A and B are shown apart, each in its own frame.
Chain A
Amino acid sequence: MSDTLNINNSVVDLVKGDYTDMEIESIVYYAQNDLKLGSGFGNAISMRGGPSIQDELNKFGEAETTDVVVTAGGELKTRHILHAVGPKFQEEYLSDKLKKTIHNCLKKAEEKGIKTIAFPPMGCGFYGVALEVSADIMFKTFEEYLSGDTSIEKIVICLNDNREFIPFHERLNKNS
């Protein structure tokens, strides 16, 4: 069983750890509509990255679900943060919105010339998307997007622990 999946000329990797402390070109934050970093990973981003990230976000005001806005990484070990406003708490048309949010992350990264992105398990945990559902939508969206012409070279899905890692690992290996 592998932790890596090659799609066309790009690669998707699974790793375990805290992605807000990762040395990588960009990370995705599952943001709220008011673009306040808040608690959880948002707390880690503001504590480790400093106040400039929220200051930059304040200039955008509010965002719609599936929107993605980009800020610098402040003092984090990443250069860019893609703040992706994903669907929450079993809201209507959740799967479609989640897919669109992930697709928009890739599109926005491409626009900004970003080649490497770290994702958390999108929508899982607090916002209630099941790990298996998130894994399936994430991989499907990556496969569709990366099969075309893209400058994105590498995607890393960063999982907190075995409970999160195993369903993603199983889904990745279903493909390879």
Chain B
Amino acid sequence: MSSNNRSHKAELVIERLGKKLNRQIVGSLAACVHCGMCTDSCHYVLANPDDPTYAPAYKADKIRKVFKKHYDWTGKVLPDWVGAKSLYTDEELEELRDIVFGKCTNCRRCSINCPMGVDFATFNRMTRGLLVNVGIMPEGVAVVSKDQWEIGNQMGVLKEDYIDTVEWMSDELVDEVNDPKAAIPIDKEDAKVVYSINPREVKYDPRTIADAAKIFYAAGEDWTMPSEGWDMTNFGLFSGDDDLGGAVGRRLYEKVEQLDGKKLVISECGHGYRSTRCEAQNWGQTDVNFKMESSVETMLDYIKEGRIKVDKAKNDSSYTYHDSCNFARSCGMTEEPRELLNLVVDDFREMYPNRGENYCCTGGGGAMSMSEYTPQRLKSAKVKADQLAATGAKFVVTSCHNCVDGLSDLIKHYKLDMEVTQLVNLVADALIIEEKVPVVEEVAPVEVPAEAVEEAPAEVLNGYSFLVTDDEPDMVVFLSTVLEDNGATVFKAHNGDEAMDIARKEKIDLMTLDIHMPGKSGREVFEEFRNDDDLKDVPICIITGRPELRSLIYDRPVPPPEGYMDKPVSEDDLIKNMKKILKVRS
């Protein structure tokens, strides 16, 4: 405690608040007339109509009172009248943390609905930064921030794992299109396009890398992926840490400059696009000498310019589009994704409200990494679930990896009959590529026995032992059958205790694990494996739709799972994921 009875951290927060005040922030802090017009624009309020503590103006006042007390003349002259109040203890800072991280996704929907121009999301973000600066933040925010500061990406993906995944996707694509020219170029200098991605793609969704590569290949693009500085996401936007934001941006920009790339293309990610394209130059006090665009624009141009051909009949389901808050509301990217979507699907159904007025996926602002607030996040997702259900579509398309996770969680929670996908997947699925037929010398026909004509199934998992753990018998049958059909030996467990017993007796190369099981939960089984000297190295792929999974990925009480998949699981995705985890190349 300092002499005025204020804790060291509270003192630092107040001091730094003064340094963060600029015209925009002061305007927002001073202008609120408490008219309440923003109240119903917030998804937290809609889910908690009887709880005033969720109202944007109420949350804002928790920060505003400190500003009034220390930096505004009204607080000096009429402190009681304007509600000026200081901060004294670390407990008060922790309460503030639970508001700015736990009760707001920084979606900016209230900001655009305020007639006085109050941008609450901006000073909510600033307050997050003040708390992070003194070490007060949710555990997941700390884990992810440290990864991005030190490893250079939000998910702690090591360079060798990134390269391995990109090379693996490259090999698969070369095989698929039967053309060595389809290989993904890494660190190619002077390329027209440098492609940056979200670490989630490397870790849990490599198909998006392969799909993007297929599109670049089909367009005949001169492109590359950097070996370092490839993460276009930026946790600084979420944590409010401008220094992190600047450091991440500069790392990415530096790599493009080092490769002498002409254009940086940012894969589909709302906050990644906003940070990289619009904010990080300011945070990092730097300029860039190359063009930057979203992959949505790149794909759209390819179709419009005739560089790729698509057949929308290949995407024959029904689709709606979710506008990411950062992509649409903050960056105005509302028409390009719709134009592209209409070029690759027939049945597009608009969601209401949409574009700048759309509701948050409720996983924004880094909420996916803050597992302590999961129940209130999912509760606040009711309005989004209603919006989705009203479209009647089978797929919700979004141009944001964060939204993919946020929407997946709420779809499971509200039991909607819907899947999430991205434009890159739909464009790749709709592509028309003429397969290269290898030139073979004519040879005399040889008589082949009839039974040998049918191609033998490639048993890619031959020699590997799996433990499938799930309480749903149908799921156990489905997973085991697919794995066995691909040559694997499969042990089956229907609950956690059975899984532990089998794992102790048999040699297991990989376990698939459901989270929600009666008795010992999947989470307990997972932690028991990780804390057991004999089992801690067994790779685990969580197969679930439960949001509890996020805390294993972000809080990391023990090393995170090697893979995860959302139910329902397709045969193709299951094998792809198993091969990735086991590093099996076909």
Contact = CB atoms under 8 A, between A and B. Distances in A.
B144 interface: yes
A163 interface: yes
Contact of B156 (A21, A44, A88, A120): A44
Given A39-B144, A43-B156, A126-B146, A161 B559 contact: no
B8 A51 contact: no
A162 interface: yes
A102 to B, nearest CB: 18
Given A39-B556, A40-B149, A41-B151, A48 B250 contact: no
Contacts of A21: 159
Given A89-B135, A90-B134, A125-B150, A38 B251 contact: no
Interface in B9-42: 12
A89 to B, nearest CB: 3
A9 interface: no
A163 B251 contact: yes
B512 interface: no
Contacts of B472: none
Most chain B beta carbons < 10 A, residue from A42, A43, A51, A89 = A43
A47 interface: yes
B250 A46 contact: no
Given A89-B133, A125-B150, 17 more contacts: A38-B556, A39-B142, A39-B146, A40-B151, A41-B151, A42-B146, A44-B151, A47-B158, A88-B135, A125-B146, A125-B247, A126-B142, A126-B150, A160-B150, A161-B250, A161-B254, A162-B254
Interface of B: 8, 12, 133-135, 142-147, 149-152, 156, 158-159, 229, 243-244, 247, 250-251, 254, 284, 536-537, 556, 559
Contacts of B151: 40-41, 43-44
Interface residues of A, number: 26
A38 B135 contact: no
Main secondary structure of the interface of B (DSSP, over half): helix
B158 A40 contact: no
Nearest to A37: B559
B134 A40 contact: no
Contacts of A88: 135
Contacts of A42: 146
23 contacts: A38-B143, A39-B142, A39-B156, A39-B556, A40-B147, A40-B149, A44-B158, A46-B559, A47-B156, A47-B158, A47-B559, A48-B158, A51-B537, A88-B135, A90-B12, A90-B133, A90-B134, A120-B150, A125-B146, A125-B244, A128-B133, A160-B152, A161-B229
A111 interface: no
A162 B249 CA distance: 12
Given A46-B559, A161-B251, A40 B146 contact: yes
Most chain B beta carbons < 10 A, residue from A39, A89, A125, A161 = A39
Contacts of B149: 40, 125-126
A21 B160 CA distance: 11
A162 B254 CA distance: 8
A124 B152 CA distance: 14
Interface string A53-72: 00000000000000000000
Contacts of B159: 18, 21
Contacts of B143: 38-39
Nearest to B255: A161
A51 B229 CA distance: 28
Contacts of A149: none
A162 B229 CA distance: 12
Nearest to A163: B250
Contacts of A39: 142-144, 146-147, 150, 156, 556
